[in-house]
Amino acid sequence: MTLAINLPGLQLKNPIMPASGCFSFGREYSHFYDLSELGAIMIKAATEEKRLGNSTPRVAETKSGMLNAIGLQNPGVLKIIENELPFLGGYDLPVIANIAGSTVEEYENVAKALRQTDLIHAIELNISCPNVKEGGVQFGTVPEVAYEVTRRVKEQASVPVYVKLSPNAADIVAVAQAVESAGADGLTMINTLTGMTIDLHKRRPLLSNKVGGLSGPAIKPVAIRMIYDVYKAVNIPIIGMGGIMTTEDVLEFLMAGASAVAVGTANFQNPMICKELIDDLPTTLKQYGFESIEEAIGSAHR
Amino acid sequence: MKLMNTHLHAISVIAEKTIKMDIVIEKKLLETIRPGQFVYIQIGSSSEHMLRRPISIADVDIEKELLTLVYKELGEGTRKLSQLKKGDPLNLLIPCGNGYRIDQLQLSHALLIGGGIGVPPLYYLAKKLVEKGIKVTTIIGFQSKEDVFFEEEFKGLGDCFVTTNDGSYGQQGYVTDSIEKEQPEFDNYFACGPNPMLKAIELKLTDKKGFLSLEERMGCGIGACYACVVPTKDEKGSKKICQDGPVFSAGEVKI
Ligand SMILES: Cc1cc2nc3c(=O)[nH]c(=O)nc-3n(C[C@H](O)[C@H](O)[C@H](O)COP(=O)(O)OP(=O)(O)OC[C@H]3O[C@@H](n4cnc5c(N)ncnc54)[C@H](O)[C@@H]3O)c2cc1C
Ligand SMILES: Cc1cc2nc3c(=O)[nH]c(=O)nc-3n(C[C@H](O)[C@H](O)[C@H](O)COP(=O)(O)O)c2cc1C
Ligand code: FES
């Protein structure tokens, strides 16, 4: 059975890739398996300048999940182009560059900087960041703001742009339709859900940033519901993510309407997870009566 | 670093909520382990605990092919580890972190300073130092008498002084009080314990070269997620405790 699937800018050998921020730039995981086995890689968010991120503690375990508030620590887009992308260029591996910013201009500048390299195949526009000019409201929660940042990044980008939707939006379908009309080539969803946990001994929020993003199996039903709804409302492909641990989870995302999936938090419990999912997926597809990936995509809607 | 399935060989309680575990590990891997490195251990096999737990390597027995961990039961993860029995499966990432690079040092007398759950990695370190003919003096601090462990083991390797915060055993006070009282002679110091302790030691022993082992909450445990960072002293950058550490030279990072 072929697991291959073609999406804008991405010829995927299989529909499995690591999610942004959970896999850095791949180096650490390359000690566990050959990165060329992956469908693609979503690299850690790039901002215009270097960012040092939040103070620690930055992560907390929660039931079947975790909270993180890394704070976009990264060396800045130019350093990523110079020091990280050449390493990934050594693999047979489509690279999706996640970009972040505090202002629309910053997003534009990161997208512009990425024109310098031919080592990326698509951009993932992370609109879950707080907009400093609009009182810190996430770009991704207001359809008009999401439209504007997508339109302006599309103007700068030389590769297809996938917009990463935030589950914190009141109406994620409205945001999805807004970014589609702004020219998005695809969607990735979902980013983390805002959450908090309190340290009983210290009597204060455990994370130093107080709030963090919830990820892992705990958010899977939310992701499935959102993908199911968005799939019906748009005509661009979706890369799904949120709590994937097993090949059955992968199939559920495909059925809901995702054309490919990303795996984040599960890499922390099992560094081999992506490879194991790729190896086991054909058996699961067959077991549930599918002859190809294409057949499974959106099959819960028929 | 390897991801491996293995099993528990023995488990026992050695002090208040303090558990010693012997885990079966092949000789070839044990030979590569440096004192100060840790294992990143999975809790259960379901999705309930998505994060592993970092536990220092307390001892290595190459002949018997055993690795020893000593940990305190604090929360749900460590409590679950304690329910395991001989023969139960365990999944480890091993070895993690840099450890103490004692091969690169010229010294004749080492001072080891440990606080609470920072004591275990110093035991394998002490054994390795003594093996190289280096004299070892150890100062270990605990909350209370019931918490004390490894005193006899360290006494078998050199001088060992114990402090307790409540004075119920050994000298009353902190490890820094004991350094003050005993005035031990040494070339380099090696410390592991809670951050306030490490900070106090770094401030006190400014004239000596030292090495500090740090703790932080971790995500990936292998350097990929930036959860476990500590700022460098100049605050212009940061280091990852899981990958660049957990051992740093005194003065290298801002505790
Ligand atoms: C490099 C390193 C070596 C360590 N070595 C030892 C050792 O030899 N013996 C020992 O008893 N303890 C050691 N610790 C601390 C130990 O990791 C924590 O006590 C343990 O993770 C707590 O887990 P829990 O399930 O009991 O607590 P929970 O509160 O259920 O844990 C929840 C989450 O917080 C994390 N966490 C909680 N406290 C700490 C902490 N102090 N440091 C790091 N993560 C924490 C857990 O790993 C887990 O992800 C070490 C920590 C580090 C970073
Ligand atoms: C530690 C950590 C860091 C993350 N960093 C980013 C990031 O930089 N950019 C981004 O778009 N998403 C980031 N995410 C979100 C993930 O890419 C993913 O959307 C989310 O975690 C849901 O998938 P999961 O449940 O499989 O982890 C991060 C998640 C985690 C846990
Ligand atoms: S725990 Fe992920 S970088 Fe250290």
For residue A132, what pLDDT band results from cuts at 50, 70 and 90? confident
Please tell me if residue A216 touches chain B, with a CB cutoff of 8 Å: yes
Residues B11, B34: one domain? yes
Q: Nearest CA to A15 among A263, A301, A242?
A: A263
Q: What pLDDT digit, counting tens, does each position of A17-26 carry?
A: 999 999 999 9
Three-class SS of residue A289? coil
Do B90 and B133 reside in the same domain of the chain?
A: no
Say how many C-beta atoms besides its own lie within 10 A of residue B7's C-beta: 12
What separation in angstroms does the CA of B66 have from each of A300, B72, B89, B129? Answer: 51, 20, 14, 20
Same-domain pairing of B53 and B113: no
Given B48, B52, B220, which is nearest A63 (Cβ)?
B48
Q: Are residues B124 and B183 in the same domain?
A: yes
Q: Chain A residues with CB inside 8 Å of B47's CB? A: 64, 216-217, 243, 245, 269
Last residue of a domain, one of B205, B228, B245: B205
Residues of chain B found within 8 Å of residue A24, distances taken between Cβ atoms: 223-226
Domain end, chosen from B96, B130, B153, is at B96
Q: What is the CATH number of the domain that holds B234?
A: 2.10.240.10
Asked if B166 and B140 sit in the same domain, the reply is yes
Is A53 an 8 Å CB contact of chain B? yes
Q: How many CB atoms lie within 10 A of CB A55?
A: 13
Under DSSP, the state recorded for B109 is E
- Mean pLDDT, chain B, rounded, equals 96
A131 pLDDT above the threshold of 80: no
Q: 0.90 cut: is pTM over it?
A: yes
pLDDT of residue B130: 97
Q: Single out the residue in B47, B68, B96 at which a domain terminates.
A: B96
B176 confidence band (pLDDT: 50, 70, 90): very high
- Mean pLDDT for the stretch of residues A267-281: 98
CATH of the domain at B77: 2.40.30.10
A228-255 per-position pLDDT tens digit: 999 999 999 999 999 999 999 999 999 9
Q: Is A274 a catalytic residue?
A: no
Q: Which residue has the higher pLDDT, B178 or A228?
A: A228
- CA–CA separation, A244 vs A261, rounded Å? 8
What is the C-alpha to C-alpha distance for residues B54 and B222, in angstroms, rounded to an integer? 11
pLDDT in tens, B23-62: 999 999 999 999 999 999 999 999 999 999 999 999 999 9
Q: How many domains, in total, are found in chain B?
A: 3
Residues in chain A: 302
Q: pLDDT band for position B221 (50/70/90)?
A: very high
Distance CA A234, CA B142 (A): 61
- Where does residue B184 rank: exposed (0-12), middle (13-18), buried (19+ CB within 10 A)? middle
pLDDT at A135 over 80: no
Do residue B8 and residue B59 come from a single domain? yes
Contact yes or no for B224 and A68 at CB 8 A? no
Which of A5-9, A66-70, B19-23, B100-104 has the lowest average pLDDT? B100-104
Ligand 3 centre and the CA of A22: distance in Å?
Answer: 10
ipTM over 0.90: yes
For residue B245, is it within any domain? Answer: yes
Query: So what's the pLDDT on residue A263?
Result: 98
Residue B142 falls inside a structural domain: yes
Indicate whether A129 pLDDT > 90.
no
Neighbours of A223 (CB within 10 A): 26
Decide: residue A39, CB within 10 A, 0-12 exposed, 13-18 middle, 19+ buried. buried
Say which residue, B236 or A261, is predicted with more confidence: A261
pLDDT tens figures, A49-67:
999 999 999 999 999 999 9
Set out the domains of chain A in order of their start, with CATH numbers. 5-54+70-191+216-301 (3.20.20.70)
How confident is the model over A164-216, as pLDDT tens digits? Answer: 999 999 999 999 999 999 999 999 999 999 999 999 999 999 999 999 999 99
Q: Are residues B64 and B38 in the same domain?
A: yes
**Type of residue numbered B147:** D
Chain B's closest residue to A66, CA to CA, is B50
CATH code, domain with B185: 3.40.50.80
For strand A16-18 and strand A260-263, is the pairing parallel, antiparallel, or unpaired?
parallel
User: Quick one: B201 and B106 in the same domain?
Assistant: yes
Cα–Cα distance measured from residue A266 to residue A209, given in angstroms and rounded to the nearest whole number: 23
Q: Residue B226 belongs to what domain range?
A: 216-255
B26 Cβ contact partners less than 8 Å away, ≥ 6 residues apart? B65
- Residue B221 makes CB contacts below 8 A (sequence gap 6+) with A268, B40, B52, B54, B93, B96, B242
Same domain, B126 and B188: yes
* Residue B210 in domain: no
Nearest 5°: the CA angle B142, B143, B149 is 40
Q: Give the per-residue pLDDT at A138.
A: 87
Assess whether B152 and B192 both reside in one domain: yes
Residue B227 · residue A68 · CB < 8 Å? yes
> How many H-runs (helices) and E-runs (strands) does chain B carry?
6, 16
Which stretches of chain B sit within 8 Å of chain A by CB?
1, 3, 42, 47-52, 77, 93, 216-231, 237-238, 243
What gap in Å lies between CA A54 and CA A251, rounded to an integer?
A: 36
Q: What is the mean pLDDT of residues B132-151?
A: 97
Answer yes or no: do B151 and B66 share one domain. no
What does the alpha-carbon distance between residue A40 and residue A34 come to, in Å, rounded to a whole number? Answer: 12
Using the 8-state DSSP alphabet, how is residue A246 labeled? Answer: S
Question: Quick one: B81 and B106 in the same domain?
Answer: no
- On whether any CB of chain B is under 8 Å from the CB of A63, the answer is yes
Write the pLDDT tens digit of every residue in A95-104: 999 999 999 9
Whether residue A74 contacts residue A45, with contact meaning beta carbons closer than 8 Å, is answered with yes
Structure tokens at A100: 């972040």
In a domain, residue B234? The reply is: yes
What angle is formed at CA A63 by the lines to CA A62 and CA A66, rounded to 5 degrees? 35
